[in-house]
């Protein structure tokens, strides 16, 4: 998520937050506490990513932050042309470049105590549980292990996939990734990925129940045999 602001450091600045791995790709510099921004040197992004992965592996949700002066095409942004310039979402990757990486915030979002017994009851009833999340794969894996979705001895390499990995598979590979009797985890997914996951499960002959509490879950809920819309206001 990017926000354009005035009165921060320059005439206009862009402030960005999001998945650290995706944010790092948009940054050419970093700023340590109390220091001036520096250019990323070879290997520094990889070192930082390892630290982020280690935090994610503890089950923490890690959110990255970056900033930068509004330059290039967006330097001419004003109230009169903002609808035209910001209306084309395909240009956002062009706008979100050459930022300064500021750091991360770690959030512990523990599962509710009733979740693990509910998953155990599902397994007793012959229902296989699959986790679909926008979280980092390491975060998702840690939580899935806590909840026994991924059980001891189960290989994460054949059980945990990102949305992009799933997208690059052919139909047979998708069915193999989703098949079997063990729990599965799909991380960093988009609404399109969620709907495709449901479709593949249906093609495999399963009766699919999907739960979700956000508007981005709605396409998959509709695609499933059983759509369970949750949340205070519903999906």
Complete domains list, the chain, with CATH: 2-108 (3.40.1110.10), 115-229 (3.40.50.1000)
- Cα separation, 147 vs 129, in Å, equals 10
Q: Tell me what pLDDT residue 74 has.
A: 76
Q: Tell me what pLDDT residue 70 has.
A: 77
Q: Tell me what pLDDT residue 4 has.
A: 84
Q: 3-state class of 171 per DSSP?
A: helix
Kindly give the parts of the chain with pLDDT less than 70: 72, 234-235
pLDDT tens digits, 140-191: 998 999 999 999 888 988 999 999 999 999 999 999 999 888 889 999 898 8
Q: Tell me what pLDDT residue 206 has.
A: 95
Q: Tell me what pLDDT residue 102 has.
A: 95
Is the pTM higher than 0.85?
Answer: no
121: exposed, middle or buried (Cβ count in 10 Å: 0-12, 13-18, 19+)? exposed
Query: Phi then psi for 19, rounded to 5 degrees?
Result: -60, 125
């Amino acid at each position: 998520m990017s926000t354009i602001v005035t009165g921060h450091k320059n005439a206009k600045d862009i402030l960005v937050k999001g998945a650290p791995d995706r944010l790092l790709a948009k940054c050419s510099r970093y700023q340590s506490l109390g220091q001036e921004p520096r250019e990323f040197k070879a290997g520094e992004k990889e070192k930082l990513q390892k630290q982020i992965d280690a935090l994610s592996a503890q089950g923490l949700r890690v959110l990255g932050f970056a900033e930068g002066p509004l330059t290039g095409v967006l330097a001419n942004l004003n109230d009169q042309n903002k609808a035209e310039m910001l209306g084309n979402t395909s240009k956002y990757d062009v706008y979100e470049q050459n930022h300064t990486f500021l750091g991360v915030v770690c959030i512990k979002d523990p599962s509710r105590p009733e979740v693990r017994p509910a998953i155990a009851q599902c397994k007793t009833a012959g229902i296989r549980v699959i986790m679909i999340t926008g979280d980092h794969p390491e975060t998702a894996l840690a939580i899935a292990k806590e909840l026994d979705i991924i059980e001891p001895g189960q290989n994460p390499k054949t059980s945990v996939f990102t949305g992009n990995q799933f997208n690059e598979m052919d139909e047979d590979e998708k069915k193999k990734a989703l098949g079997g009797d063990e729990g599965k985890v799909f991380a960093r997914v988009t609404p399109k990925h969620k709907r495709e996951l449901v479709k593949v499960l249906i093609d495999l002959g399963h009766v699919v129940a999907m739960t979700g509490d956000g508007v981005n879950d709605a396409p998959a809920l509709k695609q499933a045999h059983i759509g369970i819309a949750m949340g205070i206001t519903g999906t």
